[in-house]
C-alpha cells in the first residue's frame, strides 16, 4: 500500500528572539483531508508557529516540507505560491473594495489589460452560493460587512487562491452559534475535498468536534500530539495548563446576598441601537451576566451606558439619581468603566508601554504643577502588576504581550481610575487562553467581593455561568429571561432562552 505524502511537515523547528526560545523542536504534519487542531496558552508559541509556516518569519532551526519537498519561505506571498493560505484573527478585508474584489485580491481577472469585473462578480457569486453565503452581494463594499461576514470572506479568498493547506487562527472568536456551525461544516467540506487544515483555537469543544488530530503546545514545546478519539476535554485542559485547573465555583449563593448592598444602577426600558427594551438593576458586590447570541443587543446596552451610543428610549438612575450619559468622560466621572470587546482596536495603544497604557485614563492623578510624577506611576503600576499576576516588564510595549496579559493590564487600568463603582466587561476573555481565562474569571468574582458592581457580556454560556451571580438573557434586542440564579441554571436553559425558546427555570 502506497504511503500518502503529507501536504505539510514541520520537523524540529525552533525560534529564538534574543535570549528567549519561543519554539523548541516543534514537529507536526498535516495529511490531505485532515484537520489538525493546535491548542495552547497565549504565549505557548502558536502564533509564532503560524508565522513560520506562513512565511512571515524563518525558523532558527528545523525545516518545513510541502508535499515531501523542503521549502524556505521568506514571505507570505511565497507561501501562497506554494499552497499555504492563512486567515488571522486580525482581518484584512479592505473596506473600500467590493466583496468580489476582496475575493480576487492579488490574482484579479483581467480582459484586454483591464479588470474584468463581470467575470469576478460571476465567479464570486458562484463561490458564495457554493458555501451557503448567497445572501452576500459581490458588489457590497467591505465596510458594509459585519465582522463574521468579513471572516468568511477571508476564508473564501484563501480558498480561491487554490491553496493546499489552510491555517485558521481563532476563526470562531467572533461568530454566532449558527455561524460557528456553518464554519465547522465548511471546514469538514474542505477537508473532504482534500484540503489540509490547521485550526488554532481556544475552544476545546470545537476542536474536539471538528478535528482529526490535536497538538498541544506549552512553553514552546509539543506536550501532546494524538488522534482526537484518544483525548478528552479535561485531559486537554491539563496538558495546556501544565497542571490540573479547577474552576473556582465557590458558593452557589449570590455574592451580594448582604441586605446592606447598595443599588448602583437601575435601567428601565432602555433602547439604543439593537437594544429595544432592556430593564435591570445592579447591586454593589454583584456580578450580573448578560448572555445572548451575537447581535442580540448586549453590547449596545454597555455602549449606551458609557455614552458611546445614543439612547432612544427609557430611563437610567445611578444610586437613586437620574443619569443621562452623553460622553465617556461623563460616564467615567459618574463611576462607570467600559472594557471593550475589541481590545486591539479600541482598548490600548500598541506602541506604548504597559505602564503608560495602564495609567492613561487616570494620568491627571499623577500630575502636579504641570509635571508627571513618573516615580509614582512606576510604584502604582508595579503594585497592580503584582496583584494581577502580570509577569512582564512595565516598559514592554503592549503589542508584545499575549492576549491574556493585555486584558489583565486593561483590568488594572480600570481599577486605577478614581471613583469607579461599576465595571462593564464586553466579552472579557475573547481570544484568551484557558489559563488566563481562569485567572480573569477569578478576578471578576474578586471584584464582586470587593463591592464593585460588575456587568459581564458574553456569548460563551460556560463563562456566564462561571462568573455571574445573576444572569439576564437577550434575544433580538429584548430581555427574554430575567435573573437566572447561579447554581439554579443549566446551559440548556440559557441557550433555549437565547434562541427564543422557553426555559425550564422560572425568572426570579
pTM: 0.59
Provide the pLDDT for residue 32.
95
Whose CA is closest to 399, among 350, 343, 347, 357?
350
Is residue 226 located within the same domain as residue 331? no
Asked if 363 and 404 sit in the same domain, the reply is: yes
Task: Give the total number of structural domains in the chain.
Answer: 2
- Span 173-189, mean pLDDT? 80
Q: Is there a single domain that holds both residue 292 and residue 237?
A: no
Indicate the range of 31-35, 189-193, 202-206, 239-243 predicted with least confidence: 239-243
Indicate if the pLDDT at residue 502 is higher than 50: no
Final residue of a structural domain among 241, 271, 293: 241
The DSSP 8-state label assigned to residue 344 in this structure reads: I
In order of 261, 328, 359, 372, 446, the CA distances from 379 in angstroms are: 32, 27, 12, 13, 23
> Do 331 and 305 form a contact (C-beta atoms < 8 A)?
yes
pLDDT confidence tier of residue 120, bands split at 50, 70 and 90 = very high
Residues 111-133 have a mean pLDDT of 89
Indicate the pairing of strand 213-218 with strand 221-227: antiparallel
- Domain match, 354 and 457 both: yes
Query: Does 127 reside within a domain?
Result: no
- Quick one: pLDDT at residue 69? 95
User: Which residue do the cell numbers 460588575 mark?
Assistant: 454
Same domain, 316 and 199: no
207 shares a domain with 149? yes
- Residue 176: pLDDT above 70? no
Quick one: cell of 367?
500630575
Per-residue pLDDT at 3? 63
> pLDDT tens digits for 80-114?
899 999 988 777 899 999 999 999 988 889 888 88
What backbone phi and psi angles, to 5 degrees, belong to 197?
-130, 130
109, part of any domain: no
pLDDT exceeds 80 at position 482: no
Lowest mean pLDDT among 44-48, 336-340, 454-458: 44-48
Whether 315 shows a pLDDT value over 90: the answer reads yes
Region 374-386: what's the mean pLDDT? 87
Report the pLDDT value the prediction gives residue 334, as an integer from 0 to 100.
94
Based on the domain organization, do 341 and 406 belong to the same domain? yes
Asked if residue 116 is part of any domain, the answer here is no
Determine the Cα–Cα distance for residues 307 and 312; give it in Å rounded to an integer. 12
Bridge partner residues of 314 (DSSP): none
pLDDT at 247 over 50: no
Are 199 and 235 part of one and the same domain? yes
For residues 326-354, give the mean pLDDT: 86
Give the tens place of pLDDT for each residue, 248-263: 444 333 444 455 578 9
Residues 46 and 175 in one domain: yes
**pLDDT higher than 90, residue 337:** yes
Whether residue 2 is contained in a domain is answered as no
DSSP β-ladder status, 422-426 and 336-339: parallel
**Do the Cβ atoms of 411 and 403 come closer than 8 Å?**
no
Q: Are 284 and 469 in contact (CB under 8 A)?
A: no
Please give the pLDDT value at position 287. Answer: 96
pLDDT at 222 over 60: yes
Within a domain: 223: yes
> pLDDT digit string (tens) for 260-313?
578 999 999 999 988 988 999 999 999 999 998 777 889 999 999 999 999 999
Q: Is position 117 within any domain? A: no
- Per the structure, the complete domain to which residue 364 belongs is given by 263-498
**How far apart, in whole angstroms, are the C-alpha atoms of residue 413 and residue 359?**
6
Instruction: Indicate whether 112 belongs to any domain.
Output: no
In terms of domains, do 365 and 285 share one?
Answer: yes
Q: What is the CATH number of the domain that holds 85?
A: 3.40.50.300
pLDDT of residue 227: 96
The larger pLDDT score, comparing residue 352 to residue 302, is at 302
Confidence of residue 439 (pLDDT cuts 50, 70, 90): confident
Tell me, yes or no, whether 81 and 167 share the same domain. yes
Same domain, 335 and 426: yes
Q: Is residue 126 part of a domain?
A: no
Displacement of CA 498 from its chain's centroid (Å): 20
Amino acid at each position: 500500500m502506497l504511503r500518502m505524502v503529507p501536504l505539510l511537515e514541520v520537523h524540529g523547528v525552533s525560534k529564538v528572539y534574543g535570549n528567549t526560545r519561543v519554539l523548541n523542536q516543534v514537529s507536526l504534519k498535516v495529511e490531505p483531508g485532515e484537520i489538525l487542531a493546535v491548542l495552547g496558552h497565549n504565549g505557548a508559541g502558536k502564533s509564532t508557529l503560524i508565522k513560520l509556516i506562513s512565511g512571515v518569519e524563518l525558523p532558527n532551526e528545523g525545516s518545513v516540507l510541502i508535499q515531501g519537498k523542503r521549502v524556505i519561505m521568506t514571505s507570505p506571498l511565497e507561501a501562497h505560491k506554494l499552497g499555504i493560505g492563512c486567515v488571522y484573527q486580525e482581518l484584512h478585508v479592505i473596506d473600500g473594495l467590493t466583496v468580489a474584489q476582496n475575493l480576487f485580491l492579488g490574482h484579479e481577472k483581467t480582459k484586454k489589460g483591464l479588470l474584468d469585473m463581470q467575470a469576478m462578480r460571476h465567479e464570486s457569486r458562484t463561490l458564495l452560493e457554493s458555501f451557503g453565503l448567497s445572501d452576500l452581494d459581490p458588489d457590497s463594499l467591505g465596510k458594509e460587512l459585519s465582522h463574521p461576514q468579513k471572516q468568511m470572506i477571508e476564508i473564501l479568498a484563501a480558498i480561491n487562491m487554490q491553496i493546499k493547506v489552510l491555517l485558521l487562527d481563532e476563526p470562531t472568536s467572533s461568530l454566532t452559534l449558527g455561524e460557528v456551525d456553518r464554519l465547522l461544516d465548511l471546514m469538514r467540506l474542505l477537508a473532504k475535498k482534500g484540503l489540509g487544515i490547521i485550526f488554532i483555537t481556544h475552544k476545546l469543544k470545537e476542536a474536539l468536534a471538528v478535528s482529526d488530530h490535536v497538538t498541544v503546545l506549552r512553553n514552546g514545546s509539543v506536550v501532546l500530539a494524538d488522534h482526537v478519539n484518544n483525548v478528552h476535554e479535561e485531559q486537554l485542559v491539563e496538558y495546556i495548563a501544565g497542571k490540573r485547573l479547577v474552576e473556582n465555583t465557590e458558593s452557589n449563593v449570590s455574592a451580594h446576598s448582604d441586605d446592606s448592598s447598595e443599588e448602583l444602577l437601575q435601567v428601565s426600558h432602555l433602547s439604543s441601537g439593537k437594544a429595544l427594551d432592556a430593564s435591570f438593576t445592579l447591586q454593589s458586590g454583584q456580578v450580573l451576566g448578560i448572555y445572548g447570541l451575537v447581535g442580540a443587543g448586549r453590547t449596545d446596552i454597555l455602549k449606551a451606558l458609557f455614552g458611546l451610543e445614543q439612547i432612544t428610549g427609557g430611563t437610567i438612575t445611578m444610586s437613586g439619581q437620574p443619569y443621562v450619559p452623553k460622553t465617556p468622560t461623563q460616564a467615567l466621572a459618574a463611576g462607570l468603566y467600559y472594557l471593550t470587546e475589541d481590545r486591539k482596536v479600541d482598548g490600548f495603544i500598541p506602541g506604548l508601554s504597559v505602564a503608560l497604557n495602564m495609567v492613561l485614563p487616570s494620568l491627571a492623578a499623577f500630575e502636579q504643577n504641570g509635571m508627571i510624577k513618573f516615580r509614582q506611576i512606576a510604584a502604582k503600576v508595579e503594585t497592580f502588576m503584582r496583584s494581577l499576576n502580570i509577569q512582564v516588564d512595565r516598559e514592554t510595549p503592549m503589542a508584545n504581550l499575549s492576549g491574556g496579559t493585555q486584558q489583565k493590564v486593561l483590568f488594572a487600568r480600570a481599577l486605577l481610575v478614581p471613583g469607579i463603582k461599576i465595571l462593564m466587561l464586553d466579552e472579557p476573555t475573547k481570544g484568551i487562553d484557558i489559563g488566563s481565562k481562569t485567572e480573569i474569571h477569578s478576578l471578576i468574582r474578586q471584584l464582586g467581593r470587593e463591592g464593585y458592581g460588575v456587568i459581564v457580556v458574553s456569548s460563551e454560556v460556560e463563562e456566564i455561568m462561571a462568573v455571574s451571580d445573576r444572569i439576564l438573557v437577550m434575544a433580538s434586542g429584548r430581555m427574554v429571561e430575567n435573573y437566572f440564579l447561579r447554581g439554579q441554571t443549566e446551559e440548556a436553559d440559557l441557550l433555549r432562552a437565547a434562541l427564543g425558546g422557553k426555559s425550564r427555570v422560572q425568572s426570579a
